[in-house]
Chain A
Amino acid sequence: MNRKKRIRLGVFKYTCCAGCEFQLIFFQKKILEIFENLEIIYFRMGESGGGEEGPFDLVLIDGAITEAWQADQLKKVRQAAKFLLPIGSCAVNGGIPAIKNSTSELEMEKRVYQQIQPLHSMKAHPVDDYVKVDGYIKGCPMGEKDLVEAVTSLLLGKRANFINYSVCVECKLKGNLCLLIADKLPCMGPVTNAGCGALCPSYGRACYACWGPMEDANSRALAWQFEKMGLEPDDIFRKFTQYASNKLEFRKGAQLYGSTT
């Protein structure tokens, strides 16, 4: 029998909207041949049953870590996985759930629930605060190119080459007019990781950094630029705390204008 060895896949969801898992379901059409090489071991949104213990060739983690049981399970899953990748902004950067990190946990709980005893939520953290990861599939929802790159690299046994430049590069490639310079819009493109195809600027909108920071981005310089353009301090603070308030790159932009802890 000529049977290829299939990649044993695990997908785990933590604190998020499940949009990235949902995206995963739709990549099937475009990269069906890749999915034919996958064997689903654990993916509760897609299939009943399946064991958390693996072993897995590839594990995808959706969502930020905000509860202790998630961190415990994540560590176990890491041990059972050859490769582990966070998918989407929540898992990669803390994402939208991390907006709450600049306010005290107790204050958050009280704003939403009358009885706070049953709650055991912690501040939102990205996956790599707890375990070693083998790359990042960025985006909100996660981008397709990086996922295809990750899976094909795994099949071919080569090192994955993820997108690692700013949204500005994609704008230039598309020939977009610069919104920051020409229209004086507070665009986060210069400090944001590319992969979306400069989506917002192409639709006449300033980038709002949903893919999170590009590695080593100089957020402080961009924050000063915003200040010169006349943005209020709290507006600048919000720009750098919407998608990745945990990440050092964005904290540098935010911390001059408000408290990030």
Chain B
Amino acid sequence: MDQQPEPRTISIDYLARVEGETDLVVKIGEEDLDITLKIFEPPRFFEGFLVGRKYDEVGDIGSRICGICPISHMTTTLQAVEKAMGIDPSPQTKHLRRLMCLAQIVASHIVHLYMFALPDYFGYPGFVGMMPRFEKEKNNFLHMKEAMNRVGEVIGGRALNPISLVVNGFTQIPAKSSLLSLAQGIEKVLPMARETAHLIGRLPYPDFKVDTEFISLRHQHEYAINEGVFTSSKGGSWSIDEYQEQFIEEQVDYAMAKKCLLKGRGPFMVGALARVNIKFDQFHEETKKLAEDVCFNVPDYNPFHNNVAQALEIYEGMIECHRLLTSLNPQKEKPVVKIRSGPGTAVTEAPRGLLVHGYTLNQRGIVEKANLVTPTSHNFANIEKDLKALAEKFYQPDNPDDLKKKCEQLIRAYDPCFSCSVH
């Protein structure tokens, strides 16, 4: 009667409370474990249909890759086009873009933590159901989100898919007075960001550590968002132009998203935890103090703590936005473009990590080649690696539901965006 037992299978169909569509299958055999993250998000073929489109529309089209981080996609697209054309935008343009991108990172983190992550830890199917009993959290969530959305609305015209951002500048420069009123709005919600960090820092995360290579952009003088060089927690740094040589993007047969690896090294993690681990020294002092208050120490190797890193970035982002809003003195500028042919690649820190856009333009500014790599493609291999370690540590044959729940929580902690990853 010596029969080989069938491997136990844990499967999650169409994971809820993430952006986009994926299934997860965990197969637990006698000897080994098999993990597949089946991202079935339908492809939209951005890299295909951007070919033949003109430089002045790729920013608007690019922003539609993601409904949560359109500003990051737009900014990266514009920077890639500028690189191709040999345009170096004014410091004012760079500051305003940094401001918009930071505001969006903060807003995206807020949504992820309250709408997607929190219900897991309080046993609710969603945040809407939580709201009646969590009045204070609901108010913090809505007010913070509103204050950060306002930044996008005032400078960009619209919080999602803004319209004033174009190649080499803005079609309209905001008045000093409107920037100051945005700053006041942020002052009001700053205490809520502290409360958020305390709430998120206190959640009962699984005791789990994995050896991880973290990669983020780093800049000499500031917490890098739109400029910098690749920096790895395991040593090494590369310029943006070296992206193609250092990173591999592969197609797998079970997912519509491509998977990224660091050449010669393997999976790596990008996003809030990677950034905080690599650039903690560049936080404002108040944020460092807040990290201490919530007992967060770097380097942190628990991927569930990506939530805590996001909460710290909310506070840090608000302080930095406030600094920019009060110090900028906007001057009238016209976005002038001289079309030039050539290739250009740009990399930024989107809310979920490294975002790459690369375009080759012809002499009329029409796209001949497009290449996009999103944060979730960068994280794809690492999510699977962590899920495997998680299953090895926490699988109990008599209680498979516990592991299933932890797997869901882990995927959510990465704040994946499957729509972005497939694009």
A242 B57 Cβ-Cβ under 8 A:
yes
Q: How far is the CA of A108 from the CA of B45 in the complex (A)?
A: 7
Q: How far is the CB of B128 from chain A (nearest CB, A)?
A: 6
Asked whether A47 is an interface residue with its Cβ less than 8 Å from the other chain, the reply is: yes
A203-B164 contact in complex given A18-B419, A29-B146, C-beta closer than 8 Å = yes
**B111 in complex: contacting residue of A25, A44, A200, CB < 8 Å:** A25
**What are the interface flags for B26-68 relative to A under an 8 Å C-beta threshold, 1 for contact and 0 otherwise?**
0000000000000000111101110111100100110011111
A14 B64 Cβ-Cβ under 8 A:
no
Q: How far is the CB of A257 from chain B (nearest CB, A)?
A: 13
Chain A residues, Cβ within 8 Å of B53: 99, 238, 242
A29-B142 contact in complex given A40-B126, A99-B53, A141-B160, C-beta closer than 8 Å = yes
Q: How far is the CB of A30 from chain B (nearest CB, A)?
A: 10
Chain B residues, Cβ within 8 Å of A45: 16-19
Q: How far is the CB of A72 from chain B (nearest CB, A)?
A: 14
Query: Which residues 121-149 in B have Cβ within 8 Å of A in the complex?
Result: 125-129, 142, 145-146, 149
**What are the interface flags for B279-317 relative to A under an 8 Å C-beta threshold, 1 for contact and 0 otherwise?**
000000000000000000000000000000000000000
Residues of A within 8 A of B (CB-CB), count: 60
**What are the interface flags for A18-58 relative to B under an 8 Å C-beta threshold, 1 for contact and 0 otherwise?**
11111101101100000100001001111111100000000
Asked whether B161 is an interface residue with its Cβ less than 8 Å from the other chain, the reply is: yes
Chain B residues, Cβ within 8 Å of A15: 42, 44
Q: How far is the CA of A119 from the CA of B146 in the complex (A)?
A: 40
Chain B residues, Cβ within 8 Å of A97: 44-45
A48 B51 Cβ-Cβ under 8 A:
no
Chain A residues, Cβ within 8 Å of B129: 47
B17 A18 Cβ-Cβ under 8 A:
no
**B21 in complex: contacting residue of A13, A96, A238, CB < 8 Å:** A13
Q: How far is the CB of B70 from chain A (nearest CB, A)?
A: 7
The SS class assigned to the B binding surface is loop
Bin chain B's interface residue count.
35 or more
Q: How far is the CA of A202 from the CA of B157 in the complex (A)?
A: 9
B157 A112 Cβ-Cβ under 8 A:
no
Q: Identify the stretch in A129-137, A158-166, A204-212, A220-228 within 8 Å (CB) of chain B at 4 or more residues.
A: A204-212
Q: Which of A19, A29, A35, A238 has the most CB of B within 10 A?
A: A19
Q: Which residues of A contact B (CB under 8 A)?
A: 13-23, 25-26, 28-29, 35, 40, 43-50, 66-67, 70, 95-97, 99-100, 103, 107-109, 111-115, 118-119, 121, 124, 140-141, 196, 199-200, 202-205, 208, 210, 235, 238, 242
Apart from A109-B45, A205-B171, list 4 A-B contacts with CB within 8 A: A99-B53, A100-B45, A109-B48, A205-B163
